[in-house]
Structure 1
Amino acid sequence: MNRIDLAGRFAIVTGGAGGIGAAIVERLEQSGARVAVWDVRQGAEAPGRLRRIVDITDEEAVSAAMAEAVAAFGALDILVNAAGITGPTGALEDYTLADWRRIVDINLTGSFLATRAAIPAMKAKGYGRIVCIASIAGKEGNPYMAAYSASKAGIIAMVRCLGRELAETGILANAIAPGQIATDILKQMSPESVDFFRSKIPLKRVGEPSEVAALTAWLASADCSFSTGAVYDISGGRAVC
């Protein structure tokens, strides 16, 4: 049973058209929130949902979408940065600069731009919850995924800074570090990489997007009241090995 109460809350979820992001959108709406979905893909329609095509690496597009969402909702309570890509797997020496920049721009710079745009509206209300989807790779470093690991490590560092910067504003910022989750993003990885990372999970299975969404819903709620700048592992036990 869903006991998280987000009634009357307004949220933005980046990358909300698929994968973990879509599961988060569904869970927040089930909990009573009204959600704006930002993605470069078309997402599913739902009553009360504000769906927009937004390139989160475009500063002007993010600012415009934020202004539209705040005007439509009248406030902003929750931001979930779930947009991200893994990019190609391979040795760092073989990475192209274009691949490196694309991964870092979407995963890290996109999270920065959306977060920066959200903070003024949250400060105006004296309340906010920011949740960033990082990765266990940002803590451990995945071999042959240097750009992805670096971008997720950057998200973790950003959240730790935000926790301190915003501590007296009523805004809490936390990160989630998933391990291997059953989404289409696994298709961006080689079969050998998928098998390697799955072998490191003590629970002997991959996680489900709904499990990440459940943790996100709590972090996005008023029930999360004494945690900020933290990183929550959801890795099937991999993080403790």
Structure 2
Amino acid sequence: MTGRVLITAGASGVGRAMAEAFDAAGAQVWVADVDAKALAECPSHWKQSQLDVSDETAVAAMLTDLETEWGGIDVLCANAGIAGPTAAVEDISLTDWRTCLSINLEGAFLCSKYATPMMKRQRNGAVLITASTAGQYGYPNRAPYAAAKWGMVGLGKTLAMELGSHGIRCNVICPGSVEGPRMEGVLEREAAAKGMTRDQVYKGYASGTSMGRFVEGRDIANMAVFLASDAARLVSGQVIAVDGHTVNPDPKL
């Protein structure tokens, strides 16, 4: 595919897998990430910006730079997010709650706010929001994360309705448990909270899917490339899980 693609949190994890997949498909890639070290390890032909997606001034400035450099944008992958705390709701601080919603939900909002005017002017574009299966089910001990991801699903469906007449599609990708450092942190914290081993918690998450396994970053990336392509030209307003089919989001061990 050809096109100009911006990926937030694009220097590592799922975002890095997306960037590699879009690059391999022939797109121009711009990665934004808060982690300067991870950005430095990205291929030199990718455009790069260090960015905190919860900082409106920084988001607006980056999208202005992108428009100056590229003249527009074809695909926004609003992928940035954090896991937030793992704790009972009464033990979660308001600061941690707000931080989780700010980076996950408000970050997707801000990037959409400043990218979609360019898409409107060219009457074409695709917005892809990375939410989570936590945006489809309740997740005990993950209240801020689940609330943020449910909000991102609502944002995506609303953008699809609002922007469709301008030739812009919006879809929400809901990964399940993804192999990688962020999920490892969740596993370790949950194991400590429940008095279990990391492997016991891992098996519990995996057994909650009909396919009995975690997904990989490339699985999410392949879906993103498809949804951004002409093959999905009439796919909009959808919430698509890439999770090995979650059948029990809170398996008991």
Aligned 8 A contact 1:233 1:239 in 2: no
State the match for 1:59 in structure 2: 56
- Structure 1 residues 239 and 110, CA gap change in structure 2 (3 angstroms): farther
Distance 1:105 1:210 in 2: 26
Superposed, which structure 2 residues align to 1:43-82 within 5 Å? 43=39, 44-82=41-79
Distance 1:165 1:194 in 2: 39
Could you give the per-residue CA deviations for residues 191-216 of structure 1, whole angstroms, max 9, x where no partner exists? 43544322201211111100110000
Distance 1:87 1:142 in 2: 12
State the match for 1:203 in structure 2: 211
Distance 1:89 1:195 in 2: 18
Give the alignment's TM-score, normalised by structure 1: 0.94
Letter in 2 for 1:188: G
State the match for 2:122 in structure 1: 125
**Rg comparison, structure with higher value:** 2
Name which of structure 1's ranges 180-189 and 25-34 shifts more when overlaid on structure 2: 180-189
Q: Give the RMSD, CA atoms, in angstroms.
A: 1.4
State the match for 2:195 in structure 1: none
Identity, in percent, stands at: 32
Q: 2:226 aligns with which of 194, 211, 218?
A: 218
- Structure 1 residues 194 and 240, CA gap change in structure 2 (3 angstroms): closer
Higher helix fraction: Structure 1 or Structure 2? 2
Quick check: 1:145 aligned with 2:142? Answer: yes
Which ranges of structure 1 fall in alignment gaps of 5 or more residues? 1-5
Give the alignment's TM-score, normalised by structure 2: 0.89
Letter in 1 for 2:71: G
Letter in 2 for 1:212: I
- Structure 1 residues 225 and 239, CA gap change in structure 2 (3 angstroms): farther
Q: 1:34 aligns with which of 24, 28, 32?
A: 28
Displacement, 1:38? 0.6
Q: 1:104 aligns with which of 101, 106, 130?
A: 101
Which ranges of structure 2 fall in alignment gaps of 5 or more residues? 192-200
Distance 1:45 1:182 in 2: 20
**How many equivalent pairs are there?**
235
Displacement, 1:240? 8.5
